[in-house]
Amino acid sequence: MAKTIFPLTLLLSLLLSSISLTLAADYPLSTKSRWIVNKSGHRVKLACVNWPSHLKPVVAEGLSSQPMDSISKKIKEMGFNCVRLTWPLELMINDTLAFNVTVKQSFERYGLDHELQGIYTHNPSIVNTPLINAVVYSLGRNDVMVILDNHKTVPGWCCSNDDPDAFFGDPKFNPDLWMLGLKKMATIFMDVNNVIGMSLRNELRGYNHTAKDWYMQRGAEAVHGSNPNVLVILSGLDFDADLTFLKDRPVNLSFKKKLVLELHWYAFTNGTGQWKSHNVNDFCSQIFTKEHRTGGFLLDQGFPLFLSEFGTDQRGGDFEGNRYMSCMLAWAAEKDIDWAVWALTGVYYFREGKRGVVEAYGMLDANWHHVHNHTYLQRLSVIQPPHKGPGIKHNHHKKIFHPLTGLCLVRKSPCYESELTLGPCTKDEPWSYSHGDRLEIKGGHKSCVEGETSVGRSVKLGKKCTKIKRISATKMHLAFKNNDGLLVCLDVDSDNNIVANHCKCLTGDISCEPASQWFKIF
């Protein structure tokens, strides 16, 4: 028999926990044109990781493996400042689930005895509490912002076209109940400072989905009426890959400075097999155009766009995912977009009927402690800090980003004549790219990328500047004429030194990998 947990007790403990938060000064956040800003109008860039909590047990994943505070610390340590925490609507609209089921009961119900033992070991304080998310406070204590993401209605893995909760009006997606649940969630977390946003519904989709019945504006009003502090984050159609319909029909809300749109972009977003069956350079450039049409245009219209899901298999074997990742990162870096990677998960308690399912896209190992793949994390590190926007000190230096490695073009020695290599993007090299297409280090002396080299040899910085053109459809190949009058491209050797090579994979060939020659100047 379920032990009753009184809502009042629950609320009280929620309120008490929020007092311990120390980061009140920054919040609430609002928007200023395409930027998310704090109370002083300073840009706050969202560099988030998705922390799933919407699967059948309705408990944030990982708590049977590590104490929640150590997971929160790890999130911070990996360079994220924010979590998109997923929750199922039933947690709010089904009173049994909200108040009468404890963590212990939920695990027992699915036969997750081993996992329950893990909870006793690592997070004993939550064993007999209701399911609602204690991790929000742990994240707050560790200075991590939270976006509460209503992922679906019924607890379980997401998302397919056949789900009964794919779009408004589907059997398990009653818009009125949805608004009710959103209001409750917004109210519960009203005074919890680190809850800075609510993402109203994940990946609208299904056989019945149309722009005409996109009720997101009603949900946004419901949330704002209950909690005016949070940003309201609205998903588009077609698994949140399509916001095109907003171009001629802007979101119309009764309040201002709180609206953010979200977009998802995976390797399979445009159908599987696409990255395999096209020339990667041509396809990446087509996808740049497509992303602009389906979401990127909102930045130009003055709305923040939150790339709230992307990612790929981190074990290295995903052929299409690897091709996509360099293209996507170049785009995200150039746009300096707010984002959330899928996902934090090492291993899921119980997913699609199976226990202990490893998340191939996950930032953490199956032990929920070690970084799954340091190279992958390094590639994300360049998009973690803000590069521009209100209050960001901008010295107008360019970065020459190499998305394949997550590194940037830097000098080997801090001189005006030097060899070039790849190094951390945090190193502030005073690059400029102008004056007749020269890649130049600003300062007292004339110092730019020289063309005096041959194929396969290193590229140096010196006085004999050469014209460097951004060629090819992506404009990410940096080409110049060398000693022998040959057109060559900047490339990287096995030691990460910059060399000149024949420009590769410019167009046509579908078997060729251009990414070692891709540099994004931003």
Ligand X SMILES: *[C@@H]1O[C@H](CO)[C@@H](O)[C@H](O)[C@H]1NC(C)=O
Question: What is the nearest approach in angstroms of ligand X to the Cβ of residue 345?
Answer: 16
- CA–CA separation, 452 and 60 (whole Å): 57
* Residues 259 and 234: beta-carbon distance below 8 Å: yes
SS3 422: strand
Sign of CA dihedral 58, 376, 321, 365: negative
Q: Is residue 302 at the binding interface for ligand X, with CB under 6 A as the rule? A: no
**Inter-axis angle of helices 374-381 and 319-335, to 10 degrees?**
30
Question: What is the nearest approach in angstroms of ligand X to the Cβ of residue 230?
Answer: 17
**Nearer Cβ to ligand X (7/228):** 7
Q: Is residue 375 at the binding interface for ligand X, with CB under 6 A as the rule? A: yes
Question: What is the nearest approach in angstroms of ligand X to the Cβ of residue 76?
Answer: 15
* Residues 303 and 236: beta-carbon distance below 8 Å: no
Q: Is residue 26 at the binding interface for ligand X, with CB under 6 A as the rule? A: yes
Segment contacting ligand X (CB under 6 A): 9-17, 202-210, 295-303, 442-450?
202-210
Question: What is the nearest approach in angstroms of ligand X to the Cβ of residue 413?
Answer: 29
Segment contacting ligand X (CB under 6 A): 1-9, 67-75, 174-182, 490-498?
1-9
**Nearer Cβ to ligand X (207/436):** 207
Q: Give the up-direction half-sphere exposure of residue 107: CA atoms within 13 A in the CB hemisphere.
A: 24
Question: What is the nearest approach in angstroms of ligand X to the Cβ of residue 27?
Answer: 8
**Nearer Cβ to ligand X (257/446):** 257
* Residues 62 and 50: beta-carbon distance below 8 Å: no
Q: Which of 134, 136, 53, 132 is nearest to 91 (CA)?
A: 132
Q: Is residue 96 at the binding interface for ligand X, with CB under 6 A as the rule? A: yes
Segment contacting ligand X (CB under 6 A): 181-189, 285-293, 439-447, 506-514?
285-293
**Nearer Cβ to ligand X (242/429):** 242
Q: Is residue 19 at the binding interface for ligand X, with CB under 6 A as the rule? A: no
Question: What is the nearest approach in angstroms of ligand X to the Cβ of residue 352?
Answer: 17
Q: Please give the backbone phi and psi of residue 262, each rounded to the nearest 5 degrees, phi first.
A: -120, 150
**Nearer Cβ to ligand X (290/477):** 290
Q: Which of 184, 185, 167 is nearest to 175 (CA)?
A: 167
Question: What is the nearest approach in angstroms of ligand X to the Cβ of residue 373?
Answer: 4
**Nearer Cβ to ligand X (101/231):** 101
- CA–CA separation, 213 and 159 (whole Å): 19
Q: Which of 330, 385, 309 is nearest to 519 (CA)?
A: 330
Q: Pick out residues in 113-152 that bind ligand X (CB under 6 A).
A: none
**Nearer Cβ to ligand X (80/480):** 80
Choose which of 31, 70, 100, 244 interacts with ligand X (CB under 6 A). Answer: 100
Segment contacting ligand X (CB under 6 A): 60-68, 93-101, 432-440, 458-466?
93-101
Question: What is the nearest approach in angstroms of ligand X to the Cβ of residue 42?
Answer: 3
Choose which of 12, 39, 176, 508 interacts with ligand X (CB under 6 A). Answer: 39
Give me 423's structure tokens.
């190094």
Q: Is residue 25 at the binding interface for ligand X, with CB under 6 A as the rule? A: yes
Cα–Cα–Cα angle for 439, 474, 390, nearest 5°? 65
Q: Which residues contact 300 (CB under 8 A, 6 or more apart)?
A: none
Task: State which amino acid sits at residue 189.
Answer: F
* Helix residue ranges per DSSP H, 125-210: 135-141, 175-188
Q: What is the 3-state secondary structure (H, E, C) of 117-148?
A: HHHHHHCHHHCCCECCCCHHHHHHHCCCEEEE
**Nearer Cβ to ligand X (437/513):** 513
Q: 435's torsion region: left (phi>0), alpha (psi -120 to 50) or beta? A: left
- CA–CA separation, 159 and 343 (whole Å): 15
Segment contacting ligand X (CB under 6 A): 97-105, 300-308, 459-467, 468-476?
97-105
The distance between the two most distant Cα atoms of the chain, rounded to a whole number of Å, is 84
- CA–CA separation, 423 and 417 (whole Å): 17
Q: Which residue is nearest to ligand X (CB)?
A: 316
Q: Pick out residues in 224-253 that bind ligand X (CB under 6 A).
A: 252
Q: Pick out residues in 417-476 that bind ligand X (CB under 6 A).
A: none
Cα–Cα–Cα angle for 366, 369, 374, nearest 5°? 85
- CA–CA separation, 289 and 467 (whole Å): 27
Q: Is residue 370 at the binding interface for ligand X, with CB under 6 A as the rule? A: no
Q: Which residues contact 88 (CB under 8 A, 6 or more apart)?
A: 54, 58, 150, 151, 152, 153, 154, 155, 156
Choose which of 13, 81, 187, 373 interacts with ligand X (CB under 6 A). Answer: 373
Question: What is the nearest approach in angstroms of ligand X to the Cβ of residue 165?
Answer: 8
Q: Pick out residues in 261-280 that bind ligand X (CB under 6 A).
A: 270-271
Question: What is the nearest approach in angstroms of ligand X to the Cβ of residue 90?
Answer: 6
Give the binding-site size for ligand X (rule: CB under 6 A).
36
Question: What is the nearest approach in angstroms of ligand X to the Cβ of residue 446?
Answer: 36
Q: Pick out residues in 152-191 that bind ligand X (CB under 6 A).
A: 164, 169-171
Question: What is the nearest approach in angstroms of ligand X to the Cβ of residue 97?
Answer: 4
Q: Give residues in contact with ligand X (CB under 6 A).
A: 1-2, 4, 25-26, 38-40, 42, 90, 94-97, 100-101, 164, 169-171, 206-208, 252, 270-271, 286-287, 290, 314-316, 373, 375-376, 379
